[in-house]
Amino acid sequence: RKEVEQDPGPFNVPEGATVAFNCTYSNSASQSFFWYRQDCRKEPKLLMSVYSSGNEDGRFTAQLNRASQYISLLIRDSKLSDSATYLCVVGLMDSSYKLIFGSGTRLLVRP
Amino acid sequence: ETGVTQTPRHLVMGMTNKKSLKCEQHLGHNAMYWYKQSAKKPLELMFVYSLEERVENNSVPSRFSPECPNSSHLFLHLHTLQPEDSALYLCASSQDVGGSTDTQYFGPGTRLTVL
Protein backbone atom coordinates (compact mmCIF):
# COMPACT_ATOMS: atom_id res chain seq x y z
CA ARG A 1 0.00 0.00 0.00
CA LYS A 2 1.30 3.46 -0.90
CA GLU A 3 2.11 5.70 2.05
CA VAL A 4 0.13 8.57 0.54
CA GLU A 5 -2.57 7.80 -2.02
CA GLN A 6 -4.26 10.19 -4.39
CA ASP A 7 -6.53 9.85 -7.39
CA PRO A 8 -4.24 10.81 -10.30
CA GLY A 9 -7.10 12.39 -12.28
CA PRO A 10 -7.15 14.36 -14.44
CA PHE A 11 -10.06 16.34 -13.13
CA ASN A 12 -11.37 18.39 -16.04
CA VAL A 13 -13.67 21.18 -14.86
CA PRO A 14 -15.05 24.44 -16.29
CA GLU A 15 -14.02 27.80 -14.92
CA GLY A 16 -16.03 28.70 -11.87
CA ALA A 17 -16.59 25.10 -10.81
CA THR A 18 -15.94 23.72 -7.35
CA VAL A 19 -13.64 20.73 -7.24
CA ALA A 20 -12.49 18.53 -4.38
CA PHE A 21 -9.45 16.29 -4.07
CA ASN A 22 -8.99 13.56 -1.52
CA CYS A 23 -5.94 11.88 -0.14
CA THR A 24 -5.38 9.02 2.30
CA TYR A 25 -2.26 8.23 4.27
CA SER A 26 -1.20 4.95 5.82
CA ASN A 27 0.94 5.93 8.81
CA SER A 28 -1.15 6.89 11.82
CA ALA A 29 1.93 8.50 13.38
CA SER A 30 1.94 11.21 10.71
CA GLN A 31 2.31 14.60 12.33
CA SER A 32 1.85 17.27 9.71
CA PHE A 33 -0.04 17.63 6.50
CA PHE A 34 0.27 19.85 3.48
CA TRP A 35 -0.96 20.47 -0.03
CA TYR A 36 1.69 21.44 -2.56
CA ARG A 37 1.06 22.58 -6.09
CA GLN A 38 3.28 21.61 -9.01
CA ASP A 39 2.93 23.24 -12.41
CA CYS A 40 4.02 21.37 -15.50
CA ARG A 41 7.82 21.02 -15.58
CA LYS A 42 8.19 23.23 -12.51
CA GLU A 43 9.07 22.60 -8.88
CA PRO A 44 6.50 21.92 -6.15
CA LYS A 45 5.39 24.92 -4.11
CA LEU A 46 3.55 24.92 -0.82
CA LEU A 47 -0.12 25.74 -1.31
CA MET A 48 -1.23 25.40 2.29
CA SER A 49 -0.70 23.49 5.48
CA VAL A 50 -3.59 21.41 6.77
CA TYR A 51 -4.65 21.73 10.39
CA SER A 52 -6.85 19.45 12.46
CA SER A 53 -9.56 22.06 12.73
CA GLY A 54 -9.58 22.63 8.99
CA ASN A 55 -8.40 25.83 7.41
CA GLU A 56 -9.24 28.14 4.58
CA ASP A 57 -7.12 30.38 2.38
CA GLY A 58 -9.23 32.36 -0.05
CA ARG A 59 -10.85 29.92 -2.47
CA PHE A 60 -9.01 26.95 -0.98
CA THR A 61 -10.22 24.91 1.99
CA ALA A 62 -8.28 22.03 3.47
CA GLN A 63 -9.55 19.49 5.96
CA LEU A 64 -8.00 16.68 7.95
CA ASN A 65 -9.65 13.63 9.43
CA ARG A 66 -7.10 11.87 11.61
CA ALA A 67 -9.44 9.03 12.55
CA SER A 68 -9.93 8.10 8.90
CA GLN A 69 -6.40 9.20 7.88
CA TYR A 70 -7.88 11.35 5.18
CA ILE A 71 -7.07 14.82 3.87
CA SER A 72 -9.07 16.91 1.44
CA LEU A 73 -8.66 20.06 -0.62
CA LEU A 74 -11.62 22.03 -1.92
CA ILE A 75 -11.18 24.67 -4.60
CA ARG A 76 -14.08 27.04 -5.17
CA ASP A 77 -14.65 29.24 -8.22
CA SER A 78 -11.89 27.53 -10.22
CA LYS A 79 -9.63 29.73 -12.34
CA LEU A 80 -7.70 28.75 -15.45
CA SER A 81 -4.55 29.41 -13.45
CA ASP A 82 -5.51 26.68 -10.98
CA SER A 83 -4.60 24.08 -13.61
CA ALA A 84 -1.73 22.13 -12.07
CA THR A 85 -0.94 18.95 -10.18
CA TYR A 86 -1.85 19.02 -6.51
CA LEU A 87 0.41 16.98 -4.24
CA CYS A 88 -0.79 15.65 -0.91
CA VAL A 89 2.14 15.63 1.52
CA VAL A 90 2.48 14.08 4.96
CA GLY A 91 5.23 14.79 7.46
CA LEU A 92 6.36 12.24 10.00
CA MET A 93 9.26 11.54 12.28
CA ASP A 94 11.13 8.37 11.38
CA SER A 95 14.89 8.29 11.86
CA SER A 96 14.50 11.97 11.10
CA TYR A 97 11.60 14.16 10.12
CA LYS A 98 10.63 13.61 6.50
CA LEU A 99 7.94 14.57 4.02
CA ILE A 100 6.15 11.80 2.14
CA PHE A 101 4.63 12.92 -1.14
CA GLY A 102 1.65 11.54 -2.98
CA SER A 103 1.85 11.12 -6.74
CA GLY A 104 -0.47 14.07 -7.24
CA THR A 105 -3.87 14.82 -8.68
CA ARG A 106 -3.93 16.65 -11.98
CA LEU A 107 -6.47 19.45 -12.42
CA LEU A 108 -7.39 20.98 -15.76
CA VAL A 109 -9.64 24.04 -15.68
CA ARG A 110 -11.14 24.82 -19.09
CA PRO A 111 -12.62 28.13 -20.28
CA GLU B 1 11.90 33.57 -7.07
CA THR B 2 12.10 30.68 -4.60
CA GLY B 3 15.52 31.46 -3.20
CA VAL B 4 16.79 28.01 -4.16
CA THR B 5 18.78 27.69 -7.36
CA GLN B 6 19.99 24.59 -9.14
CA THR B 7 22.49 24.08 -11.94
CA PRO B 8 22.49 22.75 -14.52
CA ARG B 9 18.81 22.82 -15.41
CA HIS B 10 19.25 20.05 -17.95
CA LEU B 11 21.91 17.35 -18.17
CA VAL B 12 22.47 14.51 -20.59
CA MET B 13 25.17 12.04 -19.68
CA GLY B 14 26.44 8.65 -20.65
CA MET B 15 26.63 5.78 -18.22
CA THR B 16 30.38 6.14 -17.83
CA ASN B 17 30.39 9.90 -17.21
CA LYS B 18 30.91 11.67 -13.90
CA LYS B 19 28.92 14.83 -13.32
CA SER B 20 27.73 16.94 -10.40
CA LEU B 21 24.49 18.73 -9.65
CA LYS B 22 24.68 21.93 -7.65
CA CYS B 23 22.14 23.52 -5.38
CA GLU B 24 22.38 26.84 -3.56
CA GLN B 25 19.88 28.36 -1.15
CA HIS B 26 19.78 32.05 -0.32
CA LEU B 27 17.23 31.77 2.50
CA GLY B 28 19.48 31.30 5.49
CA HIS B 29 18.09 27.81 6.08
CA ASN B 30 19.84 25.08 8.04
CA ALA B 31 18.46 22.02 6.25
CA MET B 32 18.82 20.92 2.65
CA TYR B 33 17.40 17.96 0.76
CA TRP B 34 17.77 16.01 -2.46
CA TYR B 35 14.67 14.46 -4.02
CA LYS B 36 14.18 12.37 -7.15
CA GLN B 37 11.00 12.71 -9.21
CA SER B 38 10.46 10.10 -11.90
CA ALA B 39 7.60 10.21 -14.39
CA LYS B 40 4.23 9.36 -12.81
CA LYS B 41 5.86 8.57 -9.45
CA PRO B 42 5.87 10.58 -6.24
CA LEU B 43 8.88 12.54 -5.08
CA GLU B 44 11.37 10.27 -3.39
CA LEU B 45 13.55 11.66 -0.63
CA MET B 46 17.21 10.80 -1.23
CA PHE B 47 19.30 12.71 1.30
CA VAL B 48 18.81 15.17 4.14
CA TYR B 49 21.46 17.49 5.53
CA SER B 50 21.14 19.52 8.67
CA LEU B 51 23.87 22.04 9.45
CA GLU B 52 26.11 20.31 6.91
CA GLU B 53 25.68 16.89 8.52
CA ARG B 54 23.88 14.11 6.71
CA VAL B 55 20.93 13.01 8.82
CA GLU B 56 19.15 10.81 6.32
CA ASN B 57 20.29 8.51 3.57
CA ASN B 58 17.25 6.86 2.11
CA SER B 59 18.78 3.64 0.75
CA VAL B 60 20.19 5.45 -2.25
CA PRO B 61 22.67 3.59 -4.50
CA SER B 62 26.28 4.57 -4.02
CA ARG B 63 26.48 5.91 -7.56
CA PHE B 64 24.82 9.00 -6.03
CA SER B 65 27.13 10.81 -3.63
CA PRO B 66 26.02 13.96 -1.83
CA GLU B 67 28.24 16.69 -0.49
CA CYS B 68 27.33 19.62 1.71
CA PRO B 69 30.33 21.94 2.16
CA ASN B 70 28.31 24.58 4.01
CA SER B 71 24.69 25.25 4.90
CA SER B 72 24.05 27.16 1.67
CA HIS B 73 25.40 24.66 -0.83
CA LEU B 74 24.55 21.08 -1.66
CA PHE B 75 25.99 18.91 -4.39
CA LEU B 76 25.00 15.56 -5.83
CA HIS B 77 27.89 13.78 -7.49
CA LEU B 78 26.90 11.26 -10.13
CA HIS B 79 28.96 8.41 -11.54
CA THR B 80 28.23 5.26 -13.57
CA LEU B 81 24.53 6.01 -13.64
CA GLN B 82 21.92 3.78 -15.26
CA PRO B 83 19.21 4.81 -17.73
CA GLU B 84 16.58 4.27 -15.00
CA ASP B 85 18.23 7.10 -13.07
CA SER B 86 16.84 9.54 -15.62
CA ALA B 87 14.52 11.83 -13.67
CA LEU B 88 14.02 15.31 -12.30
CA TYR B 89 16.33 15.91 -9.33
CA LEU B 90 14.99 18.50 -6.96
CA CYS B 91 16.82 20.28 -4.20
CA ALA B 92 14.91 21.81 -1.31
CA SER B 93 15.70 23.69 1.87
CA SER B 94 13.89 24.42 5.11
CA GLN B 95 14.69 26.41 8.21
CA ASP B 96 15.43 23.28 10.23
CA VAL B 97 14.82 19.54 10.09
CA GLY B 98 12.16 18.19 12.35
CA GLY B 99 9.88 21.17 12.63
CA SER B 100 6.37 20.03 11.85
CA THR B 101 5.52 23.42 10.49
CA ASP B 102 8.70 23.82 8.46
CA THR B 103 8.03 24.64 4.87
CA GLN B 104 10.35 23.15 2.29
CA TYR B 105 11.26 25.42 -0.59
CA PHE B 106 12.20 23.70 -3.80
CA GLY B 107 14.64 24.65 -6.51
CA PRO B 108 13.63 24.38 -10.18
CA GLY B 109 15.28 21.00 -10.54
CA THR B 110 17.79 19.41 -12.87
CA ARG B 111 16.29 17.23 -15.57
CA LEU B 112 18.74 14.38 -16.00
CA THR B 113 18.82 12.00 -18.93
CA VAL B 114 21.18 9.02 -18.83
CA LEU B 115 21.90 7.46 -22.20
CA distance A20 to A5: 15
Q: Which of A88, A96, A103 to mutate to test the interface with B (most CBs of B within 10 A)?
A: A96
The pLDDT of residue A110 is above 80: yes
B29, containing H or E segment: none
Per-residue pLDDT, averaged over A87-91, amounts to: 94
Render pLDDT for B1-59 as a digit per residue (tens, 0 to 9).
569 999 999 999 988 889 999 999 999 999 999 999 998 789 999 999 988 888 777 78
A47: left (phi over 0), alpha (psi -120 to 50) or beta: alpha
Considering only residues B82 and A97, tell me which one the structure prediction assigns the higher pLDDT: B82
Tell me how close the Cα of B64 comes to any Cα of chain A, in angstroms: 19
Query: Using the beta-carbon criterion (under 8 Å), do B106 and A43 form an inter-chain contact?
Result: yes
Do A43 and A102 contact (CB within 8 A), yes or no?
A: no
